[in-house]
Structure 1
Amino acid sequence: MTTRRIGTVLALGALTMSAGTFQIAAADETHNFSANVGVVSNYLFRGLTQTDDGPAIQGGLDYEHSSGFYAGTWLSNVDFGDGVEYNVDFDEKTFDVVETSNSPGYELDGYLGFSKAINDDLSFDVNAIYYAYPDGRDLDYAEIGGSSTWKWLTLGLAYTVYGQADDAPGVPSGEALYVEGDWYYYAGLEFALPYDFGLGIRGGYYDFDYNDGGNDYGHWGVTVSREAGDFGTFSLNYDQVGRDTYDDDPQFWVGWLKEF
């Protein structure tokens, strides 16, 4: 079960598959443990590449309780490229270029949440996630969020409650300045198609607390996926950012995911 991490990526056009879980039953309680591994030709998060348009190998471990509580961790390589570093004044919400810096090599996330179905058509999810870059500098941040799903429509939001960049003299370019007070809004549509195909349509908007909206952006995308039994799930994806402050060229990428 990969509700939190895959739920986040799903709004961006990733793929999911349930190949099986390891269960422990005690009285009326059930504990589910699962693992997942995936490969993507470009790791895009909320419309922006996290691997300098290169491939990524990803994987995670998840726990789910029958009550709806879940927790997990997820790992991926990243590459924000060599770039400028910013001297940030969060009181004035401005920044100046000061020097070059190097990218971290990997991202390690930890998350927990509670997910519940109200009826056959309506469900909700509340969660918290910490994004860590252990070999990077002042890039970690944490969010709380929630979403609601009705049939094929999901609406959600996330709020940044902590960011190491709040107290940092600068952060590398290629990685947005995630600081306390940022909001991210997203929506997704998911449809089952014949022959085990799936269609996902998504969009999101990032409202940053710094730079007076100068770096806010919207994005959208489409995914066509195909479940292949024991071979996992394959997908073809399109993503687009709607602001030329970032790379606004169309992004096409492929992915594969298998859950154990």
Structure 2
Amino acid sequence: MRKTFWSVVCIAASTMPLAAQEWQVLGGIEAVSNYVSNGVTQSNGNPAIQPWVEINNAHFYAGLWASNVDFGNSDDYELDIYLGYRRSFANDLFIDLGYARYLYDGTGDCCGELKVTAAYPIHDRVGLLGYVAYNPESDEWNRRATLAYKVNDKISLSGTYGYSDFNQHDYWDVGASFPLTDTVAMDVRYQGSEAGDEGVVVGVSWSASQVSMAQLFLAPFRR
């Protein structure tokens, strides 16, 4: 699952508030002008449609995420199966521990990653997110850090810098996220890497419950 910082926040936000032991099914879809993972296009520079569905109970969750792809081979679609545990603590630290498996319609089962995501508001208007993923089959790591700034109650800016062992390069992005309605949000982002910049990527997402990233840095992922 190669999601933008905004997408990570929206999925976490969509799960709150939940009563203990209450099962909930969530879903959404995002349209992007270019599916970019770790600074590299996965759709040959073309648009992609990315639906997802998730079931969760208190802090545990499992879900599916999909996208069309274009690698110039037999693969047309990617399906990610993921599960994990996420929660926020009294000091507003948010932790997500998960595992994702990546499947393709042509080449089949690609690989899997153990993932750790942590987010923390370091100021009323500034939040920091860290992400580390490890593929035990190939012994490869992917790590990145994101800094976000709350401009106002709706608009937020963020930038990411990371390194992928699989691609063997640094990658980065910078952009803005903002809700269009209570359930629809837009993300405009410049994606780049040592291999060459992919340029501006625009995404519009819909989910059953959308929360402004700016609001989350005042009380991030609180349940």
Query: CA separation of 1:16/1:24 partners in 2, compared to 1, >3 Å: closer, same or farther?
Result: closer
Shift of 1:192: 2.3
Moved over 4 A (4+): 13-25
5+ residue gaps, structure 1, are 82-101, 163-179, 209-214
- Alignment TM-score, normalising by the size of structure 1: 0.70
Residue 150 of structure 2 aligns with an amino acid whose one-letter code is A
Query: CA separation of 1:150/1:22 partners in 2, compared to 1, >3 Å: closer, same or farther?
Result: closer
Measure the CA separation in 2 of the matches of 1:145 and 1:46.
15
* Equivalence map 1:3-152=2 (5 Å): 5=1, 8-11=2-5, 14=7, 17=10, 28-66=20-58, 68-81=59-72, 102-134=73-105, 136-137=106-107, 140-151=110-121, 152=127
Secondary structure of the residue aligned to 1:29 is coil
Q: For each residue in 1:104-151, what CA deviation from the matched residue of structure 2 results, as whole angstroms up to 9, or x when unmatched?
A: 0000000001112122421211110001002x2266110112122221
Q: 2:202: which partner in 1?
A: 254
Measure the CA separation in 2 of the matches of 1:106 and 1:47.
19
Residue 79 of structure 1 aligns with an amino acid whose one-letter code is D
Shift of 1:231: 5.6
Query: CA separation of 1:124/1:184 partners in 2, compared to 1, >3 Å: closer, same or farther?
Result: same
- Alignment TM-score, normalising by the size of structure 2: 0.81
5+ residue gaps, structure 2, are 122-126, 209-223
Residue 107 of structure 2 aligns with an amino acid whose one-letter code is R
Query: CA separation of 1:132/1:10 partners in 2, compared to 1, >3 Å: closer, same or farther?
Result: same
Q: For each residue in 1:209-233, what CA deviation from the matched residue of structure 2 results, as whole angstroms up to 9, or x when unmatched?
A: xxxxxx5100011121110124600
Q: Please tell me whether Structure 1 or Structure 2 has the larger radius of gyration of its CA atoms.
A: 1
Measure the CA separation in 1 of the matches of 2:90 and 2:150.
19
Identity %: 30
User: Over aligned residue pairs, what C-alpha RMSD do you find?
Assistant: 2.5
